[in-house]
Amino acid sequence: MAQLDVVMAQIDPLVGDIDGNAAMVVEHCRAALQAHAAQVVVFPELTLTGYPPEDLLLRSSVAVRVERALERLCRELPPDTWVVLGYPRRGKRGLCNVAGLIHGGEIVAEYAKMELPNYQVFDEKRYFVPGDAPCVVAIDGFRVALSICEDIWHERPTALAREAGAELVLNINASPFHVGKHLERRGVVERRAVASGVGVIYVNQVGGQDELVFDGGSMAIGRDGTLAVLAPHFEAGLYPVRVVRDATGAVALVPGSVTPELNLHATVYAALVTGVRDYVNKNRFRGVVLGLSGGIDSALTLAIAVDALGPQRVEAVMMPFHYTAAMSIEDAAGQAATLGVQFRVIPIAPMFDAFMAALDEEFAGRAVDTTEQNIQARCRGVLLMAISNKKGCLVLTTGNKSEMAVGYSTLYGDMAGGFDVLKDVPKTLVFELARYRNGIAPVIPQRVIDRPPSAELAPDQKDEDSLPPYAVLDCILERYVERDMSANAIIDEGFDPDTVRRVVRLVDLNEYKRRQAPVGVRITRKAFGRDRRYPITSGWQPGD
C-alpha cells in the first residue's frame, strides 16, 4: 500500500521579513523530516512575505528579495523533501499570488491563485492578477493539486483540478479569525472534498498581524467529508497527515490527531492574547503600560496583557481624581498584586488644576460641562504616553467596541495609546470574558465585575446615565455595524425607535474619532478599521 507522509507547518511568519521567513521554512522542514519523516511539508499562503503584505507588494525590491529567498530555499531545503509554500511572483500577465513546489533543489511547479478575495479585510485585486489554470503534479505516486485559500471557497478551482487528474488537494491559507470562522472553514472544506471526490489538506497560519489574528486550525478532510486531522487553534507547530492508496487504488487520509474545538470564550480570549503578544513582540516593544482604573475594561485588558507577555513586562498605573471611588483604588491595587505586575498610583489633581488655571480666562463665564471631564482623561493620557516614551513600552488603551461605536471616549485621553485590546469586543462580551478568565483562576476582583460601569469623571457617574443599557446597546450595534441593517429595519425588530435613532446617529457622528483610534484585535466579522469604511463628512441620514 503506497503512502505519503504530509506535514502541515502551521507557522507564524512576520510580514516583510522575507529572509527571516525563509530561514523559518528551512528550520521547520528539517524538524518535520526528523520528527515525522515528512515526504511533503506544506506552509501557508504568502509564507515568504507574510500576510497581508499590503503595499509592500508595490515595492520593486520585493521581487529581488523573494528571488533571493527562493534561491536560498533551493540550496538549503532537504533535497528529497517536497515543500509547498506561498510567495508573490510576477508572470506575463502581472503579479500573482503563487504556491510553489520545491524539490531536489529546484522549483518544480508553480500555481497562481484563481480566486482573489476583495471583501471584508481582503484587498487582493489591488495587487494580484488571477491565475487561469490548475496545477496538478505527481508526488511519490500521488496526483496532487496546489490550491490557495479563497480557491477552496469556490467550486471552479477544485473542479478543474479534479478534471486534471488530482487525487489530493493541498490548500495553503492565510485565513484570519473571527468568531465562528473555524466552523465556516470546516464546512466549506467538507463540501468541496465531497463534491469533487478528493481529499483536502488545508494549512492555515497562526499569529497576529496588526488588527488581524490568524488562528491556525489546519485540517485534513477525506473525500467523503470525514475529518481525519485537526491541528490546534492559536498554536504554531508541525502536524502530520498520512495519505494512503488502498487496495482498490483509492486515495484516503488515515485518521490522526483531532484537537477538541475551543468554546466561544476560550477562542476569543486566545485571539486577544495572540494579538497582543504578536503586536508587542513583532514591533519589539519592551513591554506594555496601561491605566488601571478599577473598572472592568482595564481589568480584563490587564489580565490579557499578563497572559500574553508575563507580569514582568506589564506595568499598571492608577491615576485617581476627586471622583475616583476608594473601591476603585483598592480593586486596582488588589488585581495588580494578584497578577504580580509593577503598579503605580499617580494622582492627576495637580495636573488638572494646572490646566484649569491656564484656561481660566478662556473658560470665564462658561458653565462646567464635559470639557472638564475630558481634561481629566487627557491628563491620564499624557502620563501614560510619557511613561511609554521614557521606558520604550507600548500604551494599551482599554476602550471596548460599544464605547468606540458611540464615541464614549476622549480623543487624546483614554484613546491615547498604541493598541486597543478590546476595540472589537462589545461590552456585554467584556463581562463574559472576565468571568471566563476568573474561571481559570480568579485574577479580576469580583466587585469589578458586579459594580455598574462608570468612567468616574463626575460625581456618582454611571455609563447608563449617558447610554442605553449595554444589553440593548450591543444588540442595536450588532445589527447596525456588523449586519448593515438600517435604522428602520432595527426598529421593525421591536427596538425603541428613539433609542435606535440616537444610537445610529452617535455611530455616524463618531467616525472621526475612530479614524484616530489605535488598532486593535479583530474578533467579529466586521470590525472598525479594515472592514468598515465610512466617510467622516457626510449628509447621510438614518432611516430605511
Q: pLDDT grade, residue 186 (50/70/90)?
A: very high
- Say how far apart CA 308 and CA 15 lie, in whole Å: 20
Q: Is the peptide bond before 52 cis (omega within 30 degrees of 0)?
A: yes
CB 43 within 8 A of CB 86: yes
Quickly list DSSP for 443-481.
Answer: -S-HHHHHSPP---SSTT--GGGTS--HHHHHHHHIIII
CB 280 within 8 A of CB 288: yes
Q: Give the fold, CATH level 3, of 3-261.
A: Nitrilase/N-carbamoyl-D-aminoacid amidohydrolase (3.60.110)
Q: How many CA atoms lie within 13 A of 12 on its CB side?
A: 20
- Say how far apart CA 168 and CA 199 lie, in whole Å: 5
Q: What pLDDT shows up at residue 180?
A: 93
Position 531 pLDDT exceeds 70: yes
- Say how far apart CA 482 and CA 524 lie, in whole Å: 8
Rounded to two decimals, the pTM is 0.94
Q: pLDDT grade, residue 392 (50/70/90)?
A: very high
* Mean pLDDT computed over 57-73: 96
CB 168 within 8 A of CB 199: yes
Position 1 pLDDT exceeds 80: no
Provide CB contacts within 8 A for 55, sequence distance 6+: none
Q: What pLDDT shows up at residue 437?
A: 97
Q: How many residues does the chain have?
A: 544
Q: What digits encode the pLDDT tens for the residues 226-284?
A: 999 999 999 999 999 999 998 888 899 999 999 999 999 999 999 999 999 999 999 99
Provide CB contacts within 8 A for 226, sequence distance 6+: 253, 255
Give the CA radius of gyration of the chain: 26
Position 31 pLDDT exceeds 90: yes
- The grid cell for 325 is 471611588
- Say how far apart CA 219 and CA 207 lie, in whole Å: 17
Provide CB contacts within 8 A for 359, sequence distance 6+: none
- The grid cell for 266 is 476560550
Type and span of the H or E element at 333: helix 326-339
Position 458 pLDDT exceeds 80: no
**266-463+513-520 classified as CATH 3.40.50.620:** yes
CB 448 within 8 A of CB 289: no
Catalytic positions are 45, 113, 149
Q: Residue type for 305, please?
A: A
- Say how far apart CA 187 and CA 125 lie, in whole Å: 26
Angle at the Cα of 58 from the Cα atoms of 54 and 63, rounded to 5 degrees? 105
* Higher pLDDT, residue 163 or 454: 163
- Say how far apart CA 528 and CA 517 lie, in whole Å: 10
Q: pLDDT grade, residue 381 (50/70/90)?
A: very high
Other Cβ atoms closer than 10 A to 399: 25
- Say how far apart CA 400 and CA 402 lie, in whole Å: 6
- Say how far apart CA 93 and CA 58 lie, in whole Å: 16
Q: What pLDDT shows up at residue 324?
A: 87
Type and span of the H or E element at 497: helix 497-509
Q: What digits encode the pLDDT tens for the residues 66-98?
A: 999 999 999 999 999 999 999 999 988 899 999
**Nearest alpha-carbon partner for 171 in 217, 210, 130:** 217
- Say how far apart CA 326 and CA 324 lie, in whole Å: 7
Distances (CA, A) of 304 to 23, 84, 138, 323, 414: 31, 35, 47, 27, 18
Q: What does the domain layout of the chain look like in residue ranges?
A: 3-261, 266-463+513-520
Q: What digits encode the pLDDT tens for the residues 288-301?
A: 999 999 999 999 99
Lowest model confidence (mean pLDDT) among 159-168, 241-250, 261-270, 477-486: 241-250
Question: Quick one: 329 exposed, middle or buried, by C-beta within 10 A (0-12, 13-18, 19+)?
Answer: middle
Q: What pLDDT shows up at residue 98?
A: 98
**Nearest alpha-carbon partner for 239 in 269, 204, 198:** 204
Mean pLDDT, all residues of the chain: 94
Residue 281 CA, distance from chain mean position: 15
User: Which residues share a beta bridge with 237?
Assistant: 10
CB 12 within 8 A of CB 236: yes
Q: What digits encode the pLDDT tens for the residues 463-473?
A: 777 789 999 99
Q: What percent of the chain has pLDDT over 90?
A: 90
* Mean pLDDT computed over 393-418: 95
- The grid cell for 294 is 478599577
